[in-house]
Amino acid sequence: MSTLRFRKALWVVVGVFLVLAAMKVTAVAQADVQEKNRRIIQTAFDNWRRGAGSVFDLLVSDAKWTIVGRSAASGTYHSRRDLLDQVIIPFNSRLSTPLVPTVRGIYADGDMVIVLWDGAAMARDGKPYENTYSWFLKMRDSKIISATALYDPIAFDDLWKRIRPVY
């Protein structure tokens, strides 16, 4: 093999090695971000369960929150304030005890964190409210920038229609 061919082959090997090394660094960095996001959401749910905040504290002001389906609250809310004013505050005002989350699982993939959880509370009329939720939370810089929420609309609508909000 000539010296020129050897050098070209060596540069190809070096180039492949550098690409593989960069790919490993990128994969490790992404895994770190995924785990960081997963921990942030876990901590938010833990705090919510203890009555010391909620996941909604992580929303950026212009977060987009979509509730899928045909429940009374289904639709897309284009800011944290809209979601709180139109859904969360009226929902909570129908309860005599705070909604307590019990997480079944938290999964992270890239900038997406998926949470499967159950919520339980007592409604103001003395009847229990129980529902299961799946939230798909898109994260950026440790904050939620958008979300897609799914839950049992029958349980939600029963509470929403049965009890008038009190502010």
Could you tell me the CATH number of the domain that includes residue 111? 3.10.450.50
81-113 tens-digit pLDDT: 999 999 999 999 999 999 999 999 999 999 999
CA distances from 149 to 8, 12, 27, 146 (A): 54, 48, 28, 10
pLDDT of residue 6: 74
pLDDT of residue 24: 56
1-17 tens-digit pLDDT: 577 777 776 676 666 55
Whether 155 is covered by a domain: the verdict is yes
107-146 tens-digit pLDDT: 999 999 999 999 999 999 999 999 999 999 999 999 999 9
Whether 167 is covered by a domain: the verdict is no
Q: What residues form DSSP beta bridges with 116?
A: 105, 134
Tally of structural domains, the chain: 1
Whether 154 is covered by a domain: the verdict is yes
Residues 6+ apart with CB under 8 A from 36: 142
Please give the Cα distance from 159 to 131 (Å, whole number).
11
Whether 12 is covered by a domain: the verdict is yes
The whole model's pTM is what? 0.82
Write out the residue range of the structural domain in which residue 36 sits.
Answer: 3-162
pLDDT of residue 18: 57
Whether 148 is covered by a domain: the verdict is yes
